[in-house]
């Protein structure tokens, strides 16, 4: 199924390279309420990324879930959430995007509460509450837009005529949609659900942080900025610059809070909060390099973060280590896992030869193009903060060599191989970054 769908999407990329979306399905209930699925370059990037990383998650789950209960239910909702994520990628208008956006919340909720412990059930309530509140804001935004326009299909460059809204009305619409999509994007202070959801099994954490939920939120922001408002209105109204400030705050605070987390998965969660804001910041700059940075980091962060979460799962499975303070010397027991972890850490910091370097390079260029050198300084500060909470883990893991030979404690092959392949991919896409840029147009 994955191979066939991927081949179909790759074939479709030739069509999308013409810059014209292809309509796949459309059913009109009313002029506004229309379910429409189109394939364009941005949707193709998200769909291919989700499909391939889901495949790796399934293979990884084969080893990780061997001691878990209710694996059939887990796999069923895992595949169902893939279908819904592809629906988000192919949505041709805000109504369709909203429908699949909410379906994603409902299909991932059973994954969050999979272990059904009291802690998991509390996390599930927080997860539902935040995401349903976010959905309410999106719905209000759609209603506001529909009250003024006859059609809310996505159009490159935006669909809002210049004189449709007053400045106050434009700000209200922009705030509703950005807050709504900002919940799944974990923009501070809308982020609390994300670290709370770390009680889920590691493949689910990887799914939430790298592929499905958070990327769906960022994807919604991309559609809002580029296909509803357009750079002209965002630039003239100053809304693009307004959006950049919560993104900057999220980048800095997410990194600072990551220092305080001893639980490895929670440290990765706060890293995710910070890194997602790079994408929104790049898009808000309204420059060619900023646009490139946003799309590259959308792709690159998914690879880097799923690698890091798989490494965290490997450490818990092989050595029983879940705390940062417990990882001294673990690199000698799990060298393959720590090698992949080290590669992904370099990418998160933004160092070559790993793909994360390219995202941050273009983001700094985009800031300079926008005449905002202070934003480039924030990118550098964030890189230093990332190094501060990631590099000590790597150094500690290889700092205390055992006095006696220690048996390896790597996890099953399905877990280790997927981790190593993804870690290698992070280097490959530094050398060959054209694929995500081609797919995204």
C-alpha count within 13 angstroms, C-beta hemisphere, residue 18: 8
C-alpha count within 13 angstroms, C-beta hemisphere, residue 255: 24
- Whether the CB-CB separation of 174 and 239 falls below 8 Å is answered with yes
Structure tokens at 319: 């050595």
- Whether the CB-CB separation of 218 and 85 falls below 8 Å is answered with no
pTM tops 0.85: yes
In this structure, the number of other CB atoms found within 10 A of the CB of residue 384 comes to: 11
Per-residue burial over 173-208, b if 16 or more Cβ lie within 10 Å, else e, is bbbbbbbbbbbbbbbbebbbbbbbbbbbbbbbbbbb
**For the chain, domain boundaries:** 1-235, 238-441
Which has the closest alpha carbon to 406: 322, 311, 332? Answer: 332
Distance of CA 268 to the CA centre of its chain: 13
Residue 14 contacts by C-beta under 8 Å, 6 or more apart in sequence?
A: none
Q: Specify the pLDDT at position 243.
A: 95
Q: Specify the pLDDT at position 407.
A: 72
Per-residue burial over 347-364, b if 16 or more Cβ lie within 10 Å, else e, is bbbbbeebbbbbbbbbbb
Q: Specify the pLDDT at position 9.
A: 52
Burial level of 161, CB count in 10 A (0-12/13-18/19+)? exposed
φ, ψ of residue 354 to 5 degrees: the values are -120, 150
- Whether the CB-CB separation of 95 and 142 falls below 8 Å is answered with yes
In this structure, the number of other CB atoms found within 10 A of the CB of residue 374 comes to: 8
In the block, residue with structure tokens 């300079």:
368
pLDDT 10s digit of each residue in the chain, 441 long? 554 555 455 555 545 554 677 878 788 888 778 888 998 889 989 999 999 999 999 999 999 988 888 889 999 999 999 999 999 999 999 999 999 999 999 999 999 999 899 999 999 999 999 999 999 999 999 999 998 888 888 999 999 887 888 889 999 999 999 999 999 999 999 999 999 998 889 998 888 777 889 999 999 999 999 999 999 999 989 999 999 999 999 999 999 999 999 999 999 999 999 999 999 999 999 999 999 999 999 999 999 999 999 999 999 998 888 999 999 889 888 999 999 999 999 999 999 999 999 999 999 999 999 999 999 999 999 999 999 999 999 999 988 776 556 677 788 999 999 999 999 999 999 998 887 777 666
């Amino acid at each position: 199924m994955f191979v066939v769908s991927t081949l179909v999407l790759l074939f479709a990329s030739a069509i999308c390279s013409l810059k014209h979306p292809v309509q796949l399905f459309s059913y009109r209930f009313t002029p506004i309420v229309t379910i429409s699925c189109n394939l364009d370059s941005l949707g193709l990037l998200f769909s291919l990324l989700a499909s391939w990383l889901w495949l790796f998650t399934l293979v990884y789950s084969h080893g990780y879930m061997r001691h878990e209960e209710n694996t059939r239910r887990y796999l069923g909702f895992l595949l169902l959430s893939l279908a819904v994520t592809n629906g988000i990628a192919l949505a041709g208008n805000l109504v369709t995007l909203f429908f699949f956006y909410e379906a994603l919340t409902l299909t991932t909720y059973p994954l969050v509460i999979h272990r059904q412990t009291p802690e998991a059930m509390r996390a599930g309530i927080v997860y539902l509450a935040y995401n349903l509140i976010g959905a309410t804001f999106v719905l209000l935004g759609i209603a506001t837009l529909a009250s003024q326009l006859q059609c809310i299909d996505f159009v490159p460059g935006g669909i809002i005529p210049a004189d449709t809204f007053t400045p106050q009305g434009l700000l209200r619409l922009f705030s509703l949609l950005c807050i709504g999509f900002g919940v799944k994007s974990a923009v501070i202070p809308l982020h609390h659900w994300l670290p709370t959801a770390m009680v889920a099994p590691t493949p689910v954490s990887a799914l939430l942080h790298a592929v499905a939920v958070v990327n769906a939120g960022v994807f919604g922001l991309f559609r809002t900025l580029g296909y509803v408002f357009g750079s002209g209105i965002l630039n003239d109204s100053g809304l693009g610059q307004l959006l950049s400030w919560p993104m900057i705050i999220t980048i800095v605070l997410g990194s600072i809070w990551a220092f305080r987390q001893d639980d490895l998965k929670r440290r990765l969660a706060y890293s995710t909060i910070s890194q997602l804001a790079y994408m929104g910041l790049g898009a808000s700059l309204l420059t060619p390099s900023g646009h490139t940075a946003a799309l590259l980091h959308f792709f690159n962060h998914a690879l880097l973060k799923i690698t890091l979460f798989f490494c965290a799962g490997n450490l818990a499975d092989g050595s029983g280590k879940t705390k940062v303070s417990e990882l001294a010397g673990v690199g000698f027991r799990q060298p393959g896992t720590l090698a992949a972890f080290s590669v992904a850490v370099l990418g998160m910091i933004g160092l070559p030869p790993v793909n994360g370097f390219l995202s941050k390079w273009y983001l700094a260029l985009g800031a300079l193009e926008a005449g905002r050198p202070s934003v480039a300084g924030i990118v550098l500060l964030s890189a230093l903060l990332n190094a501060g909470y990631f590099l000590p883990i790597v150094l500690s893991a290889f700092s205390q060599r055992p006095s006696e030979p220690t048996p390896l404690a790597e996890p099953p092959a399905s877990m280790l191989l997927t981790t190593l392949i993804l870690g290698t991919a992070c280097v490959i896409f530094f050398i060959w970054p054209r694929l995500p840029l081609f797919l995204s147009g």
